[in-house]
Amino acid sequence: MIYIFGILLGLIATVFFNIAPIYQKEGLNQISELESKKVWKSTVAMFTNSRWLLGFIIANLGGLAYFFGVSLSGIAVIQPLLNFGIIFLAWLSKKKFNEKTLF
């Protein structure tokens, strides 16, 4: 039963890892003052943007789910689950931002 719970946490992690960049990209599209020469100002702008911050929090929650999933089920089981999330990210990117994908 614990093994299955670990797999469930791995699936949650992959969804969180691949939803987070969508929110962060939405947040970055709202920020106009990002500059590579002003790293601190750009970092503050990202963390004060609610969409970007939500993506950051979701990614970290995914990291926790991943950590506990690997602890319960092992890396050989959980790591392949993360590959499914790439398909989900491509589909969600196309739907949300009209980005070009292979399907």
Q: Tens of pLDDT along 10-57? A: 999 999 998 998 899 889 888 887 777 788 888 888 899 999 999 999
> Where along the chain do its domains lie?
2-90
Mean pLDDT over 54-81 rounds to: 94
> pTM of this prediction?
0.81
Do residues 45 and 34 make contact, with C-beta atoms less than 8 angstroms apart?
yes
Burial 58-87 (b: 16+ CB within 10 A, else e): bbeebeebbebbbebbeeeebeebbeebee
At position 75, the amino acid (one-letter code) is I
Neighbours of 36 (CB within 10 A): 6
